[in-house]
Each structure stands twice: as C-alpha cells, then as structure tokens.
Amino acid sequence: TCSLLRSPKGFPKLKNDTFLRAARGEETEHTPVWCMRQAGRYLPEFRETRASQDFFATCRSPKLCCELTLQPLRRFPLDAAIIFSDILVVPQALGMEVVMVPGKGPTFTEPLKEVEDLLKLRQKVDVTAELGYVFQAITLTRHSLEGKVPLIGFSGAPWTLMSYMIEGGGSTTMAKAKSWLYRHPEASHRLLRLLADVIIDYLVGQVAAGAQALQLFESHAGHLGPELFQDFALPYIRDIAQAVKSKLKEEALPLVPMIIFAKDAHYALQDLAHAGYEVVGLDWTIRPQEARAQIGEDVTLQGNLDPCALYAPKEKIGELVKKMLEAFGTQRYIANLGHGLYPDMNPEHVGAFVEAVHAHSRHINKH
C-alpha cells in the first residue's frame, strides 16, 4: 500500500530495530540480515511491476520505488529495507543523461571525455529540486513499512560515480577513468569534490526524508590500488562521513549509522575502519577472521557470503551460513552477501539464506 503521501513527521514506531542495534554495536538476540539488491529482478513480482516502465522512470516514481522496496519484505523476514533507486541518479542530478540499455546496462549518452567537459556539469546542485523524487520515495516507504524494519538510504561514492561518468557505462579495466587520475589529477579532484558535495547533501536529505541508516557504495574500489585509493577515494569517503554527521547535527536530524562498502578493497580495510563509519561492508573475497583482525572490535562488520552460494542446494546454504556466523561471531555483525543478488537466483534460496542466519545465530547466542 504505497498510496497517500503523509508528512515526513509522525512515522510509525519501529518494531524491529535489530539491524540498527547491530550497526551501533549493541547486543542483539539474533544476527540481523538483509541483501544488497534485495529489491530486484530475481523476484517475478519485481519484473511484473517494472515490465512496462523505463528503468529511470521507475526510479522517479515514488509509488513504484515504494512497491519495489516492500516486495522482498512480503516474502522474507529481512531485518532492513533498502530504498529502490540507483547510484546513477547523482550524475543525472549533475546534468548528465543516462539511459538503461537492455542487455548492456546503464549507458551515458555523452560521457566525459576531456577536462573541458567538466564545465557542462551543474556546479551547484539543488538536491531537493533534482533528487526530490528519491526523498518522496523514502518518506512514502517509511510510512508504508509501518515500522516493520528500518529503511536504508544510499549513494554511490565519488570515485565509483566518476568512473561511470567517464567510461560511459560498465568496464572491465576502467582504463579511461583511471587515465584521468594519472593524466589529470587536478581535474579529477575537482570532479570528485563536486560529486562529494552533492552526495553529502543527498544523504542528509535522505535522513530528513526518513532514512534510518545510510550506505555508501564504492563498488569500483577494486580497480584502484592502494596508492590511487589513498589519493582519490579515501579522502572523499572520510569527508562524506564527517560532513554528513556534522550537517545532521546542525539540522537537528537523527545521527543514523553509516555503512561503507568498498568492493575488493582489502588493502584499505584498516583505513576504512577509521573513516568515520559505524559499519564496514565486506565482499566475499576476504576471510571473516582477517577482516575482523584488521578492522578491530569497535566497528560492525557486514557481509560477506558469496552471492553465488545461493545457487547451492538449500541445506548447503544453511551450512555455509553457519560457518560464516561462526567466523564473524553473532554480535557487532550484520549478515549480508558479499555483493548484490543476481537476476537468475531462486527466491526460495534467498529465503533459505535469511532463515538460516536467524536460526543459526539464535542457536549460537543461546549456547
């Protein structure tokens, strides 16, 4: 029921705060679990809702975003919802055109080629004017959730967005975007700064609209080595956490937990642990014990089952989850996949994953 847009105030009382408690490092009876891309094409009802609509038109419809966000929660006892949107709405807010090409994915009609192209971008972005549809979707969804679970808002991180804006879409090497870092370091920093400023306002706006946690996706961290990450990704990741928190305080908004997910950035885990986020998300290529050793006890970990493990038979999924929980421990931990769900996954296997996390973590906590 995603009708009726009420005022952002007077949200329903939260009934299940397990995810928020784990994010803040408080004790939980079971380990909370949610999945990246839980609102997605692996659900037949998602494909049905999306069938007639252009992808970004769907992103701009608060009603449809709300419906798609709620779909997985009708099926599975997940501990959090994440608003249905896309990281590329930020480049759109800067004035770039992005279209979703079937079989190819998101494509920029005019990617950034030369440093001069930066002048075509909006230098001052009014996020309410450009991204207000996301804020409306968050407010509507927060009411429609009826306090069932917390709602997560998100953004792409500057380097990941920059790489899309220069590559014009996905890329296996990111050679065009990385060449900017080597050839045009000043212009790269100018672009990253512009993105960071928009992201800060965007994330604060999401909290004002009703988001109860925020995740920053540095999905393309794996294309950078330690040096480039230090120079072109980490400073902005740190800055975003700091600036969002100080703006939330200034505007008397709730200080929500923040999650940083830098895919394939093992080399930076210690830095990420001190970047100002309550939670560090992990991909599936790192051992839980190693991550904990590098990150320490003061930050909650999130992750990191190989998404492809969901192709295994259900019993096997249960065994893998049990092993993962034993390795991470059930406290200061949020179970998730190490990346998003894939479109051809069986929803029943997603259910088996969620239920296994709850059952095994309860069992471990009792004994």
Task: Verify whether residue 86 is a known catalytic residue.
Answer: yes
* Spatial separation of the C-alpha atoms in residues 158 and 243, rounded to whole Å: 14
Strands (E), the chain: 81-82, 98-101, 105-108, 151-156, 213-218, 258-262, 279-281, 300-305, 333-337
| Active-site pick, 17, 21, 42, 50 | 50
Amino acid in the structure at residue 283: D
| Active-site pick, 24, 75, 86, 117 | 86
C-alpha Rg value of the chain to the nearest Å:
19
Burial letters 109-142, b for 16+ CB under 10 A, else e: eebbeeeebbeebeeebebeebbeebbbbbbbbb
Q: Between 288-295 and 314-328, two packed helices, what is the crossing angle to 10 degrees? A: 30
Task: Verify whether residue 37 is a known catalytic residue.
Answer: yes
Task: Verify whether residue 277 is a known catalytic residue.
Answer: no
Span between the terminal Cα atoms of the chain, in Å: 41
* Cβ-defined contacts of 58-61 (< 8 Å, 24+): 58/84, 59/84, 59/85, 59/86, 59/89, 59/133, 59/134, 60/133, 61/133, 61/137
| Active-site pick, 41, 190, 193, 362 | 41
Nearest Cα to Cα of residue 220 among 192, 262, 275:
262
DSSP state letter for 166? H
Q: What is the DSSP string of 244-304?
A: HHHHHHHTT-----EEEEETT-GGGHHHHHTSS-SEEE--TTS-HHHHHHHH-SSSEEEEE
| Active-site pick, 17, 42, 60, 164 | 164
| Active-site pick, 17, 21, 37, 60 | 37
Residues with a known catalytic role: 37, 41, 50, 86, 164
